[in-house]
Amino acid sequence: MRILFLGDVVGRDARDAVNAQVKDLRTKYKLDAIIVNCENAAHGFGVTAQICDDFYKAGVDCLTTGNHIWDQREIIAYIEKDARLLRPMNYPEGTPGRGHYIIQTPRGEKILVANLMARLFMDAMDDPFAAANKLCNAHRLGKDVNAIFLDFHGEASSEKMAMGFYLDGRASFVVGTHTHVPSADARILPKGTGYMTDAGMCGCYDSVIGMDPQLAVNRFVRKVPGEKLFPVSGPVTLSGVMIEVDGKTGLCTKVDAFRSGGKLSQSIPQAV
């Protein structure tokens, strides 16, 4: 199985670029699933029902999020109706929405997509490691599902790495999101789980994590509240990771960082 994951989509230019390329990417790489983190898609803050619908129409199979999931108030009611839009599953019991979804491929394979949020330098959440353990015990890799893909949304690289090793051999792939900066450590861990500390963002990198750089600088220099941050317009880099998974064992067999367009160095896997 081949899966493409694209990191945090920041603003209109980024989501337009993703939607314009998804179908061609699926054909070029014979992808079985395309997963996108959409938590910054609505002008940098949250996501709306219409934006979700646009992603699905373009060919995205599942959407993950993180700490900005509730920034657009309309999503609180909408998320209950949309099984493909995930919020971190370690939110407290009773929080609207769900934290995992099973993609059924045309060949009948099951790809479990899960979303968790880290705790270091983040909002207080239920234990993500306990939640991951419970999920993997209920959905055994290579038996109940053909693949398990986890978007672990968090600030600290150490916590993300710990999750990768915690699930090594029990998940197909663990990828970090939230920092908007792609890491250079995409690899397969000793027991067969693929890993990358952060997928980076889909957006313009002539920015501060996708936002207007001068406004961001002002916040650090002046230390007073100022104008609300907003995404910059400019050349978009699609940043993420492409993986291959053994459909029988559920373990990762290949990992390629994916960066296309914009200002960053390109990392474009060979077409299938």
Q: Got the DSSP string for 109-125? A: -EEEEEEEE--TTS---
pLDDT at 226: 75
Number of Cβ atoms within 10 Å of the Cβ of 46: 20
Q: Given pLDDT bands bounded at 50, 70 and 90, which one contains residue 6?
A: very high
**What gap in Å lies between CA 238 and CA 220, rounded to an integer?**
27
Residue showing tokens 């291959």? 244
Q: Selecting from 3.30.70.20, 3.60.21.10, 1.10.3720.10, 3.30.43.10, what CATH number does the domain 2-260 have? A: 3.60.21.10
Q: What secondary structure letter does DSSP report for 181? A: S
pLDDT tens per residue across span 121-166: 999 999 999 999 999 999 999 999 999 999 999 999 999 999 999 9
User: What integer pLDDT is reported at residue 225 of this predicted model?
Assistant: 77
Question: Using one digit for the tens of pLDDT, what is the confidence trace for 212-258?
Answer: 999 999 989 988 777 889 999 999 999 999 999 999 999 999 999 99
Output the pTM of the full model.
Answer: 0.97
Look at residues 236, 229, 238, 235 and name the one whose alpha carbon lies nearest to residue 43.
229
% of the chain surpassing 70 pLDDT: 100
Residues 6+ apart with CB under 8 A from 207: 213, 216, 231, 232, 234
pLDDT of 227 reads 82
Residue 211 has pLDDT above 90, yes or no: yes
Rounded to whole angstroms, the Cα distance separating 139 from 141 reads 6
Task: State the average pLDDT over residues 101-123.
Answer: 97
Q: Which burial class, exposed, middle or buried, applies to 110 when counting CB atoms under 10 A from its CB (0-12, 13-18, 19+)?
A: middle
By annotation, the residues acting in catalysis are 68
Cα dist from 15 to 138, 210, 213, whole Å: 34, 12, 20
Task: Using the Cα atoms of residue 141, residue 147, residue 153 and residue 155 in order, give the sign of their dihedral.
Answer: positive
Q: Which of the four pLDDT bands, split at 50, 70 and 90, describes residue 4?
A: very high
Taking residues 63-89, what's their average pLDDT?
97
Cβ-based burial of 266 (10 A; exposed 0-12, middle 13-18, buried ≥19): exposed
